[in-house]
Amino acid sequence: MPVANYKQYCEMLDRAKKGKFAYPAINVTSIATLNATLKGLAEAKSDGIIQVSTGGGEFASGTAIKDMALGAIVLAEACHTLAARYNVMVALHTDHCHPDKVEKFLKPLIAETEKRRAKGLPNLFNSHMFDGSELSLAENLKVSKELLEICTKNEIILEVETGVVGGEEDGHDTSGVSNEKLYTTPDDMLTVYETLNPIGGRFMLAATFGNVHGVYKPGNVKLKPSILKDGQDEIISKHGQQAALDLVFHGGSGSELSDIHETLEYGVIKMNVDTDTQYAFTKPIVEHMFKNYDGVLKIEGEVGNKKLYDPRAYMKKAEDGMAKRIVQACNDLKSTGKSMLSGAVAA
């Protein structure tokens, strides 16, 4: 099935919200991780979201070029081609784009979609994330509003963030922020709704409730999923049930399953999974190298074993490892077996 169009993506999100499940949003950085994601979703018979970060896009463009927008385009175009061979629905998304990268990442990708639409082609990406959490809420929403207006014209969903997700991702370190910034307030969520809803386009909110990027030891940061309920209640009490937000769970790797399931009750329809899938991809490679040390290296004048140092030998294992972790993510988020389509890999 080709990548979802705008109507199909909206239907995906509506189904998740009504059914109280969420889609795993998997970061990809290469064709190998893209294939692993598609394989995992297909095995789980789950629709899902495939996303590219600024760092992932830069890596995908090659170490000689380092163009984050170009790399994102390459991965998105590959996904449009490969996804057509799978019988699950996927949407394409870009992850955390901080204010200093809007001009060289977000806007060029939106412009690329505008070019495609002018030619009658489908959107390159279905949604983009602007992470203005380092700004004041007023400045964050000012930029978010401008971007949502552009996105709405092109049938693109915008994801925004309030509060700060702790930890480090793609070189952006927020580990030094004060604890209160890790928790979005009900007033913040209401302000987001009242600022962005009048534009008429669809948007998602990554509201923070103690989330941290990366894996952290239990007790290091206290997750408070009830914050999401408090914010939704504030919005609903003033604007009605239909105003409930589409929420996103960032920093989901390593979270307790009970916390994940609680967030589904409060409107989380997308959870980012990156750290755990990185590990699941790398672990089989490390095992291969340790087990076949004298085969992957030419030691003491020997020639090694080409079948073992051929990258395909260990990259296949890495793909399988990551795919299995994605199946687990689908199970955790209760999206397994709930694809809008049916079956797994097309013939």
Of 95, 170, 188, 276, catalytic: 95
3-class secondary-structure state, position 285: helix
CA nearest neighbour of 26 among 226, 259, 205, 277:
277
CA nearest neighbour of 24 among 254, 265, 326, 245:
326
Cβ contact 227:187 at 8 Å: no
CA nearest neighbour of 137 among 209, 189, 199:
189
- For 117, counting Cβ atoms within 10 Å of its Cβ (0-12 exposed, 13-18 middle, 19+ buried), the class is middle
CA nearest neighbour of 167 among 216, 129, 205:
216
- Per-position DSSP letters for 215-245, written without gaps between them: ---TTSS---THHHHHHHHHHHHHH-GGG--
CB-hemisphere CA count at 13 Å for 221? 30
Tokens of 328: 């687990």
Stretch (H or E) spanning 24? strand 23-27
Tokens of 206: 């990554």
Cβ contact 90:41 at 8 Å: yes
Instruction: Indicate the residue type of 54.
Output: T
> Dihedral through CA 51, CA 54, CA 56, CA 60, nearest 10?
110
Catalytic-residue membership of 95: yes
Catalytic residue numbers?
Answer: 95
